[in-house]
Structure 1
Amino acid sequence: MASPPSGAAPRPRAGAPTTAAGTAFLLAAAPAGRGRAIDAASVLPALAAVPPGVLTGTSTATLVELADPLDPQTVLTRLRAAAASPGPLVVCLAGQLHLDRRQQLTHLALARTTPATLRYTALPWHWLAVELAVRAPGTTTVVADLAADPAVWERLTADPGLLRLGPGPTLYGRVVPAPRRGEPLAPAYLRAWAELLRSGARLPYATLHTESAARTAAASPESVLLAPAPAPAPFVEQDPHPAILAAAAAGRHGEASAVASAWESEALRRHGPRSPEAVHWTEVRADLARLAGDPARSCELWLSAAEARLGLGQPTDDTDVEGAVDRAHHQWERIGDRPRARALGPRLIALRRRVPGRRPGALAALTRRMAD
C-alpha cells in the first residue's frame, strides 16, 4: 500500500548536528520460541553501529538499547526517562503487533508474550503516545519496523492511521503481515535506514523513509508504510474532538485517550494547571474512561475536575461544578472493585458536602453505601 503524502513541516536532517544533546532509544522485541514473527533484535548491531548523534541529528547523543526485554514496566520506565530529556529524541522500534481482543487494544509483544498473557507481558501501543505527549512538538521522531498479527493487520489496512501517536511525534515506518509459519521476518526497513546513515548520507528523515521503503519493497510487496500526514493546523486552530470521539466509538480507546492526553499537555503548557482549558481536557479524559468501561478512572478524573473548578472560584451551584460531581458519583456507583470504591469514597463525600447537587438525598445515599 502506498504511503500517504508527506506534507509535514521540514524535520531536522539525520546527521546534521545541532547544539542540543539528543537521545536515541532502540527497542527490539519479539516473543521467544514459536510465537516469534520477526527477528527484531537482529537489527540492533546495525543501528548501534551508527553514531548516536547521527541517528538524532545532534552533535552528541545518549544511546539507550533494549534487546528482547521481558517486562513492559521496565520498557515504560526507560522510555519515560528518555522522553524527559530536553533534546531531540529518536525512537527506533522493531517488533510485532498483537490485538488484545478483550480490550481491543494494540500491543507491542515482548520476549515473554504469549496470546494468553498479552495484556500483562506486552507493551500497549498507546503507552508510547502517552509518554511522548509530554515532549515539545517537532523534537520526537519514531521509526518503526513491525509485523502485525491478522487482527491488527486487518484494522491497519482499513485505517492506516491506526498507529498514530498524537500530534507531537513524527512517525515513519513499515508494517508487514506476520507470517503464519516459517522463518521469522527480518527487520529490513530499519536495516536499510541504518545502512543509509552508515554510508555517510546526511538525509532528512522523510528521505530516509522513502529510500528505506524503496529498498525493501520487492521483498515485502504487501506492506503499509507509515509517514506523516500533511502538517496540521497549529494548536487553538484545530478541533480534535471529532477524531477523539470517532476513535472511542470505534473501540480504539487507547488512541482516544492518548490524543486527549496530548491536548491536555498542550493546555497545561500554554495555560497552566489552574485554567479552564486544562480542566476541560480532564473532563474529556473522564468521559473517555467511561466509554472505555473504566468507572473507577472516570470517577477519579471527574473528582479532579470538580476540585479544579472549585479551585478556580466557581460557585458550588455552578452547572459545570454540579455536573462534574454528579458524574463522579454516577461512576462511583458502577465501580465493581470495592477496595477501589472505598478509596475514592472520602473524596466524593467531601465534595458532596460542598456540592449537594439537585438530587435529594445524594449525600445520605452515598454515606449509607460507604457504611455497608
Structure 2
Amino acid sequence: MKKMLVGAFFTLSTVFLAQAQNAFTIAAANPNVSGVAISGESGAKMIRLELIRLGKYKVYDEFDMADVVKANPEFQANCYGQTCLVKLGEALKTDFVICGSIDGLSNKIAVTLKIINIKNKSIEKSAIKEFANQPNEVQRMIEIVLKEMHGVEVDKVTQDRLSFKNDIITSNNVGKVNNSGPRIGIAGMVGSLYEFATRDASRGGLDIFPAISMIGYQLEGQYVGTENFSALVEGIVNVSGLEQGQFIPSFTLMNGFRFGKGNWEFAFGPGFGLKRTTNGFFDDKAVFGEKDTYWSEADFNNTYGMGADPDALAEAQLGYKPGYDFSEKHGDIRGITAINTSFVFAFGRTFQAGALNIPVNLFYSSQKGGGFAGVNVGFNVVKSKKVLNPGI
C-alpha cells in the first residue's frame, strides 16, 4: 500500500511538473515571407504545429486569435515589429508572441524567429539560420530553429541535409567558369611511335627526331566548383610536328579535377587522331636484311613476288617459323589513313596572377605499343563566371 502511494505521488508530481512547464501561453503571428512560394498564414500554421510538437507552451490556434486580429487592422498586415507584437500579445492576454521571417535569398533560405515577452515588452529569444534552397522543407527548417532556440537536440541527419553549405560538392553554390587558352609543349615518342618516327622514309617512317613540338588550344568548362575543389571538362585540339615538316592533328577530351588553393590538377580521357598504316611485320631475326627492318605487304610482294609467304621463306633459313605474316597494322606514311585512339593522363598545377592562369602539365598519351610523354604550358583568362541556377 505504501509503495502504491509513493508511486501515485511521483506520477502526480510528474503531471503537475509537466503542466507547470507548459503553463506559458504563446501565439504565432504571421511571419514575413519573401522569395518562397508560401503565404504568411501557412508560415504561421507551421510555427504553431512545431510549437505544439515542442511541448513547452500552450499554443493559441488561429481561431483563438481570430476575433482580436479581426478587430484591429494593425494586426492584420505587416505586424512584424516588437511594438506591434507586444500590442497583439496584450490583446490576446498571452505570455509570448512569436514571429519572424522566411526569406528566399538566391541559393538559400534564411529563417528568422523571435519570441517576444509580453510582460517585459522585450525579446525573450531569437535565432536565425540559413538552409539550402529546398522550399518544400520549410516546416523542417522551422522545427530546427525552434529546437535550437530552446536547447532541444536536433536530428543530425535532417540538419545536415537541409543546412546551407559553401564548400562541398553538392552545394547549391556552384559556379560555371569558362577558362580557355592556347597550349604549347614538347613530347617525346616511346615504344612503337619511337620506331615509326625514326624509321627511314623509304620504309614508310616519318624519318624525324623522336621529340616533337605541340601547339593547340584548350577549351575548359567547370561543372562543379567550390573554394577547394573543381571538376572540369576539357577539350584540347593539337597539331604536332610542324617544326619537322609534319602535320599530326589530334583531339583530346578529358575529365579533370583541381584541388586546393594550390590548384593542383589531375585529368584523364580519350584522345583521337589520324594515322596512316599498312599491314606488315618486323624482321627481328634479320632473315631478309637488316635486323628489325619493317616489311609492308607491298614491299615484300615487290621484292619476293606476289603472294610470297614470309613465314615459309624464313623457315627455310631458320628451321622454324618465326611467325612472320601481314595480319598486324603498323604506322606507315604510304598507307591508308584511319582514326587512331589513345588514352591520356595529365598532372600539373595552375599558377595564377590575377585573372591570368598559367597551367603547367606533365602528360602521357598511351596507345598500343607506345605513346607520347611530355610537358605543355599555356595561359588562359577567367572570361566568365555565372551561377548554374540563376533562377533560384
Calculate the TM-score normalised by the size of structure 2.
0.23
Calculate the TM-score normalised by the size of structure 1.
0.24
Between structures 1 and 2, the one with greater strand share: 2
Between structures 1 and 2, the one with greater helix share: 1
Tell me which of the two structures has the higher relative contact order, counting C-alpha pairs closer than 8 angstroms and 6 or more residues apart: 1
Larger radius of gyration: 2
